[in-house]
Amino acid sequence: MTASSNLMEVPNLMEIRGLTVEFEGKQRFTRSLHGIDITLKRGEALGIVGESGCGKSITWMAVIGLLGRNARVGGSAKLDGQEIIGADDEKLSEIRGGRIAMIFQDPSSSLNPLHKVGWQLGEALRQHQGLTGEAARKEAERLIDRVGIANARQRLGEYPHEFSGGMNQRVMIAMALAGNPDILIADEPTTALDATIQAQILDLLDDLRRERNMALVLISHDLGMVAEMTERVMVMYCGRVVEDSPTSDLFDTPAHPYTRGLIDAIPSIDGPVQRMLAIPGSVPSPDRLPPGCAFAPRCTVAGPECQRAVPAMIGAGTDERHRAACVKLDDILPPVAARMSDPALAAAEMAR
């Protein structure tokens, strides 16, 4: 039995239903999220992909109450069956870090340059585990050592500017682990890191997920990273989920034209040099979304029916977990299935 099939038998740790976010402007509220549905199981690795501004980060910041006062959040998010949307500040403070931790893409702006690393990690341990003094110091050393930073005692007495970008990211991971979270959200965790350090950070996150049976949400533009690290992928566009699939199915037989466009845009290191494919047009502004499918103006297979209504998520393959929001699936899936049934074409497709 595969890891994915094992996960089907695990109860949902997080259930997000109909999540909406609106931001207050000068004259009116503008909706940025349009009814997001997500389920997440303990130990699962979920990737969330899409262009900048599609709502990947906002989704999780809304769940844990990190949006500003100009944001209006609706819908439901239940953690182990407990509703957390609308929870008071005290409850959210317990959840943030204690149950759900988030690693942001720029550790240099997340760490306080005025305080030593040990003090900052100690604060997290005091808040989430109630540790102080020698007990906090020993646990801080253990965490720093676990994330791969040598000479833990010495490094705890140093400031963030004395660390490299990769080391600061490891410190952020250690701080996230201080509360023994059930869910770790990694938002572009390898931005601005070189390839070798990226691989080390990703290996560390995967090891920690398996070691702690912790759910990992990987938010990224890097489809190669998502393909390697996750068991399931959600594709977002203009504040909506347009495809949700086991990772292998998504890359083998992408159903939504937007997903197909993202995969086609991945540069290949094999074969002849050729012009990189790009999705035509640009992402519309949240306050100027077209009628019906928001991707229709950029879609190569769109028809008049695509402008009539926002498409619902429907089955998109032989695996019941693979769903997409597109009214043209009957036109899209047969050609994809034909490509994947031909061994030569399938090999070429997988090598892209």
Quick: pLDDT tens for 133-179. Answer: 999 999 999 999 999 999 999 999 999 999 998 999 999 999 999 99
Look up residue 159 and give its DSSP letter.
Answer: -
- CA dihedral angle for residue 81, residue 84, residue 88, residue 90, rounded to 10 degrees: 70
Q: How far apart are CA 257 and CA 69, in angstroms?
A: 36
Q: What is the pTM of this model?
A: 0.88
Look up residue 311 and give its DSSP letter.
Answer: P
Quick: pLDDT tens for 305-338. Answer: 999 999 999 999 778 899 999 999 987 775 544 4
Q: Which domains does the chain have, with CATH numbers?
A: 1-99+181-237 (3.40.50.300), 108-179 (no CATH), 255-351 (no CATH)
Look up residue 288 and give its DSSP letter.
Answer: G
Given a cut of 50, is residue 341 above it in pLDDT?
A: no
Q: How far apart are CA 300 and CA 280, in angstroms?
A: 9
Give strand pairing partners of 332. Answer: none
Quick: pLDDT tens for 82-134. Answer: 999 999 989 998 899 899 999 988 777 789 999 999 999 999 999 889 999 99
Contact 301, 332 (CB under 8 A): yes
Amino acid occupying residue 48: I
Given a cut of 60, is residue 3 above it in pLDDT?
A: no
